[in-house]
């Protein structure tokens, strides 16, 4: 697998949503149930907005022709939501500065994943930017307002996330991203009653 497809694969929900659940379980394990619920609510908001934007276009043709926008980039949104928090939590608790460094690395990786979607012509710039802004709004808000307790940091969440990624990566899941896309399209056509989904060419004709 070449470089950019590999980078892009790290942004697939197939890997990131289990990592988000892992973060919630880690917070619950450390007695921070309220933080876990706030985290899951943030992930649900990012996922819901992303899904709603895609359904709106594929089912009803709702987009922004001037920006070539047909829906929030899921890879960008999910990576920007989850990776800064995951890398923040995996830093040593004895070194406070490393928590900020971990979060910054997560942001940088999310930006790299977003760029990979542009290189692979999977999304327009507006769709990637929308995903990154949405995801970072969720992750940085969560990290900035951790509640009345300091978020528990340990290498355990990262080790477990890497184990999950490795396990899922070895499963026969070729085209998982395409399968998710087909599922969204099927949902959109079912809900709208259309036989065929709208496509980007329809949006371009509105210019």
Q: Which residues have CB under 8 Å from 135's CB, separation 6+?
A: 46, 76, 77, 78, 79, 80, 81, 82, 110
Predicted TM-score (pTM) of this structure: 0.90
Residue 96: pLDDT band with limits 50, 70, 90: confident
The answer to whether 72 and 128 are in contact (CB under 8 A) is no
What mean pLDDT comes out for the span 130-139? 98
**What CA–CA distances, in Å, run from 116 to 42, 109, 113, 123, 176?**
24, 10, 5, 10, 17
Task: State the residue for tokens 């920006």.
Answer: 67
Domain residue ranges of the chain, discontinuous segments joined by +:
3-204
Q: Mean pLDDT for the chain?
A: 88
- Tens-place pLDDT, residues 114-129: 999 999 999 999 999 9
């Amino acid at each position: 697998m070449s470089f950019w497809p590999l980078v892009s694969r790290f942004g697939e929900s197939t890997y990131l949503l289990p990592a988000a659940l892992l973060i919630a379980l880690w917070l619950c394990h450390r007695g921070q149930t309220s933080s876990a619920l706030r985290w899951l609510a943030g992930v649900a908001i990012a996922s819901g907005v992303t899904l709603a934007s895609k359904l709106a276009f594929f089912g009803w043709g709702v987009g922004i022709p001037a920006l070539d926008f047909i829906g929030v980039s899921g890879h960008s949104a999910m990576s920007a939501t989850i990776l800064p928090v995951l890398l923040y939590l995996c830093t040593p608790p004895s070194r406070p500065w490393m928590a900020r460094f971990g979060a910054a690395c997560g942001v940088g990786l999310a930006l790299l994943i977003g760029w990979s979607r542009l290189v692979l012509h999977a999304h327009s710039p507006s769709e990637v930017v929308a995903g990154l802004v949405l995801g970072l709004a969720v992750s940085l808000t969560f990290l900035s307002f951790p509640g009345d307790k300091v978020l528990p940091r340990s290498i355990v969440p990262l080790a477990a996330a890497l184990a999950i990624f490795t396990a899922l990566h070895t499963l026969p899941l070729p085209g998982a991203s395409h399968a998710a896309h087909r599922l969204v399209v099927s949902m959109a056509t079912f809900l709208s009653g259309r036989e065929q989904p709208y496509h980007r060419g329809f949006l371009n004709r509105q210019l």
